[in-house]
């Protein structure tokens, strides 16, 4: 190669094309698309001198062929004032005014304004029609059927960038009209692309499953699109959503969770799901997981898809009962502990605690279900949560916590439940006489609860008494109606010879 400071583009092209034909068997210019340019530079001997090959001259020559902005502006510049206003305010404006507004401004009818616009279009077509057609062809080559707004702006600038500033918008609009480009959501697209958007909008719902996920491959096939640079822009205009690589009719929490779980392929905790799906509202996520038929607990703390398990987690008691029933009414207790611990990732001690409740009986290592367990007799005198009012009435004593004020219940001793007439497996609602007009308390004693009975629906009554976390609360145990007090001076530890 020559050592001149700048190599001629024609010489370079001849050498590159020769190397392509000689070393790669290229027969036409189209074959260059399949050849690596870096390799071709090396094979042609141009790699060492490539930096001295200037392209600016070729670029200037091509730019002079492409640009039509000044030529278009020259046509508008010589028009009369009224026609110029029509061009700038309506015909070649991004925000065109109506014919009626133009007519009022000129003092002519709407029809007359329309005739003037028709004459303007004819003048432009006759004067620069071929140039506009040429510019439209270049625009389509540069951007294809659609492009992002910024990319389109750069492309159209190459073609009409030589237009004077006052005529620049008009030149751009005129060129877009000839090329049939229009702005849509985030893109500028030609007529064919806009038709694809309309067709995809029509097809997408029919290609979606019951969850709302769209079969992207079928959508491309139905549209006849194997490859489209602005495919994502088309989807955006169709109002489809890209969720974890999939297409969806709507970006819902349900879709996010489903796809996240499918991606992991295993159960996840609620916090893990929230992190993966970026769902910040934990309460709404919890509500959806527990109510949507797609999702089930597959362990104590993990959620998964219903199709992943034949036995969703519904609590330790249900798991024990199911296994005992499947084994004909009794099952080895140690095997139950091992099976449930492994299946649902629960501590062995938790399973043993439930097996130790009145709901179940263990004899000779075999666990069975007790259908109607007897209620153990309990005394108020020995109950740790009972104190006595100075009038001799027994009372439940507990410390108020944030959980109580949020609606949580209070565990109570068996003696408290029996005092209020509730035995194992029973429940009752008891009104408050103090404070009045608040929700009745609920007392329930489940035979399978290792922690015993619980008194609930205390939140409103505690609030009415002005109770705050850390306060002591006292519930006088009278079946006809409960009294809630917060004055500890009225109570003592002794039973006053009253066992309830």
CA distance 260 to 252: 12
Annotation: CATH topology of 253-308 = Arc Repressor Mutant, subunit A (1.10.10)
pLDDT of residue 42: 80
pLDDT digits (tens, 9 = 90+) for 202-213: 999 999 999 999
Per-residue pLDDT band at 479 (split at 50, 70, 90): confident
Interval 281-296 mean pLDDT: 94
SS (H, E, C) 117-168: HHHHHHHHHHHHHHHHHHHHHHHHHHHCCEEEHHHHHHHHHHHHCCCCHHHH
pLDDT digits (tens, 9 = 90+) for 295-331: 999 999 999 999 999 999 999 999 999 999 999 999 9
Interval 189-198 mean pLDDT: 95
Q: Work out the mean pLDDT of the chain and round it to a whole number.
A: 90
Per-residue pLDDT band at 25 (split at 50, 70, 90): confident
Interval 354-377 mean pLDDT: 93
Is a pLDDT exceeding 60 seen at residue 497? no
pLDDT digits (tens, 9 = 90+) for 138-169: 999 889 999 999 999 999 998 999 999 999 99
- Name residue, tokens 């005529």: 167
Mean pLDDT lowest among 25-34, 330-339, 382-391: 25-34
pLDDT digits (tens, 9 = 90+) for 69-81: 999 999 999 999 9
Mean pLDDT lowest among 11-15, 265-269, 407-411: 11-15
Interval 23-52 mean pLDDT: 77
Tell me if residue 468 falls in helix, strand or coil.
coil
Q: Please, which residues have CB within 8 angstroms of residue 288's CB and are 6 or more apart in sequence?
A: 253, 254, 257, 295
**Residue among 311, 318, 313 at smallest CA distance from 303:** 313
Q: Which helix (H) or strand (E) element contains residue 464?
A: helix 459-464
Contact 247, 219 (CB under 8 A): yes
Please give the structure tokens belonging to residue 91: 């015909």
Q: Candidates 2.40.330, 2.40.50, 2.30.30, 3.40.1360; correct CATH number of 380-492?
A: 2.40.330
pTM equals 0.68
Bridge partner residues of 455 (DSSP): 410, 443
pLDDT of residue 28: 82
SS (H, E, C) 375-427: CCCCCHHHCCCEEEECCCCEEEEEECCHHHHCCCCEECCHHHHHHCCCCCCCE
Per-residue pLDDT band at 500 (split at 50, 70, 90): very low
């Amino acid at each position: 190669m020559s050592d001149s400071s700048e190599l001629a583009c024609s010489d370079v092209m001849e050498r590159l094309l020769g190397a392509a034909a000689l070393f790669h068997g290229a027969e036409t210019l189209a074959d260059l698309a399949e050849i690596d340019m870096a390799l071709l530079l090396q094979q042609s001997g141009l790699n060492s001198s490539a930096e001295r090959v200037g392209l600016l001259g070729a670029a200037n020559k091509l730019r002079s062929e492409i640009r039509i902005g000044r030529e278009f502006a020259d046509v508008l510049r010589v028009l009369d004032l009224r026609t110029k206003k029509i061009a700038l305010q309506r015909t070649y404006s991004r925000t065109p005014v109506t014919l009626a507004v133009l007519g009022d401004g000129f003092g002519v009818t709407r029809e007359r304004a329309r005739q003037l616009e028709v004459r303007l279009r004819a003048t432009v077509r006759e004067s620069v029609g071929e140039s506009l057609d040429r510019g439209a062809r270049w625009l389509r080559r540069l951007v294809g059927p659609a492009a992002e707004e910024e990319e389109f702006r750069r492309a159209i600038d190459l073609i009409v960038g030589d237009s004077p500033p006052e005529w620049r918008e008009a030149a751009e609009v005129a060129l877009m009209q000839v090329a049939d480009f229009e702005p849509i959501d985030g893109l500028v697209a030609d007529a064919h692309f806009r038709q694809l958007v309309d067709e995809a909008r029509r097809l997408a719902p029919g290609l979606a499953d019951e969850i709302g996920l769209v079969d992207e491959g079928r959508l491309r096939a139905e549209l006849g699109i194997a490859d489209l640079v602005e495919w994502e822009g088309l989807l955006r205009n169709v109002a489809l959503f890209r969720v974890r690589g999939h297409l969806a009719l709507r970006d819902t929490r349900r879709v996010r969770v489903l796809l996240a779980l499918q991606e992991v392929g295993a159960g996840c905790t609620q916090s893990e799901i929230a992190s993966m799906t970026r769902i910040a509202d934990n309460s709404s996520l919890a509500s959806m997981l527990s109510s949507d038929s797609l999702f089930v607990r597959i362990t104590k703390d993990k959620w998964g898809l219903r199709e992943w398990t034949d036995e969703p987690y519904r609590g330790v008691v249900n798991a024990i009962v199911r296994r005992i029933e499947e084994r004909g009414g009794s099952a080895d207790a140690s095997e139950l502990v091992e099976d449930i611990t492994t299946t649902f990732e629960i501590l062995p001690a938790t399973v043993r605690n439930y097996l130790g409740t009145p709901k179940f009986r263990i004899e000779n290592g075999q666990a069975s279900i007790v259908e109607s367990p007897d209620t153990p007799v309990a005394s108020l005198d020995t109950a740790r949560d009972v104190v006595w009012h100075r009038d001799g009435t027994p009372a439940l004593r507990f410390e108020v916590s944030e959980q109580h004020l949020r609606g949580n219940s209070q565990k109570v001793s068996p003696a408290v439940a029996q005092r209020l007439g509730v035995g194992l497996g029973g429940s009752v609602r008891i009104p408050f006489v103090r404070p009045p007009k608040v929700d009745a308390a609920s007392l329930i004693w489940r035979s399978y609860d290792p922690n015993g009975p619980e008194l609930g629906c205390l939140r409103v009554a505690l609030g009415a008494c002005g109770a705050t976390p850390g306060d002591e609360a006292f519930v006088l145990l009278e079946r006809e109606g409960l009294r809630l007090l917060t004055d500890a001076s009225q109570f003592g530890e002794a039973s006053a010879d009253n066992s309830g």
